[in-house]
Amino acid sequence: MRGTTGRRAWVLAGGAAALTLLAATGAHAEGRGDIRVTKTVVDNGTDVVVGTTKTVTFPIAITVKDNSGVKGLTHVSAFNSSNGYGFFDWTGSSCAKKSSTTSVCTATMKVDPAWIPDSDDIDSNKIAGVWQVNATVKANDGDYWISDRIAQFKVKRAAKLTTDATPEPVAKGARLTVTGKLSRANWEDLKYHGFTGQQVRLQYRAAGAAHYQTVKTVTTGDDGKLSTKVTATSAGSWRWYFPGTTTTSRIVSAGDAVKLK
């Protein structure tokens, strides 16, 4: 596929936390001359996380080599490796010369979540997951190379997580109830909805300690709600930690400090 209906034209084709891949050649690469993409890094090696309101931009750094020197990028696109849909705009690029033959050209990608529902004709949430990058590069002597799948990375739905520990303060040795809610961005209605059936870790840090430790793992119930009971042995802070999935970002709630009576 190479297009779809909606708010704008989207490049379609067709991915592991964001990866750096060596791609001197590609399964579908074609062009002319000796110019090649030798390395690609997406978003500095991290997942791209998209919520419901905040515009997201991220870089794709593409290392290009040619014996005559590198002229630049003439096309960059990113899309889901399984279904071919994508919603990021390529807004421009710049190249930094590293030697007479090699440059690092950085493309800037952008999305306003408001664009997403109109960018496809399927459930937009199915576009989360493993994505790939395609690019066309050009040399000073006219050589060019159309490079498919020069990198794979993950685009994830943003998550939210809350924590509330009660009662506060609590008597030493008494039972403490820790509740919370895990929700994630829905790219169809641009709202957050509870994420059920997910394992979330309850973590505790004693007052004065440097790090949190996992106490137990709890599965989210209806509407992403969490609830469990623990014994209060000392003053400290409680929080929930969700490690994320292939399609949903990791998230750590703010800690809720509880004092002893």
What's the one-letter identity of residue 37? V
pTM of the model: 0.87
The contacts of residue 120 (CB under 8 Å, 6+ apart) are 4, 6, 10, 85, 87, 127
Domain boundary (136, 156, 176) is at 156
- Asked whether residue 108 is assigned to any structural domain, the reply reads yes
- Structural domain for 178, as ranges: 159-258
- Asked whether residue 172 is assigned to any structural domain, the reply reads yes
Q: Are 232 and 177 in contact (CB under 8 A)?
A: no
Q: Do 166 and 75 fall into the same domain?
A: no
DSSP helix, strand, coil percent of the chain (3-state; round to 5): 5, 55, 40
Q: Per-residue confidence of the chain (261 residues) as pLDDT tens digits?
A: 223 333 333 433 333 333 333 333 344 568 999 999 999 999 999 999 999 999 999 999 999 999 999 999 999 999 999 999 999 999 999 999 999 999 999 999 999 999 999 999 999 999 999 999 999 999 999 999 999 999 999 999 999 999 999 999 999 999 999 999 999 999 999 999 999 999 999 999 999 999 999 999 999 999 999 999 999 999 999 999 999 999 999 999 999 999 999
Q: Do 128 and 169 fall into the same domain?
A: no
Domain CATH for 139: 2.60.40
Q: How many domains does the chain have?
A: 2
Q: Are 249 and 159 in contact (CB under 8 A)?
A: yes
β-bridge pairing 251-252 and 236-242: antiparallel
Helix (H) or strand (E) run with residue 114 in it: none
- Asked whether residue 91 is assigned to any structural domain, the reply reads yes
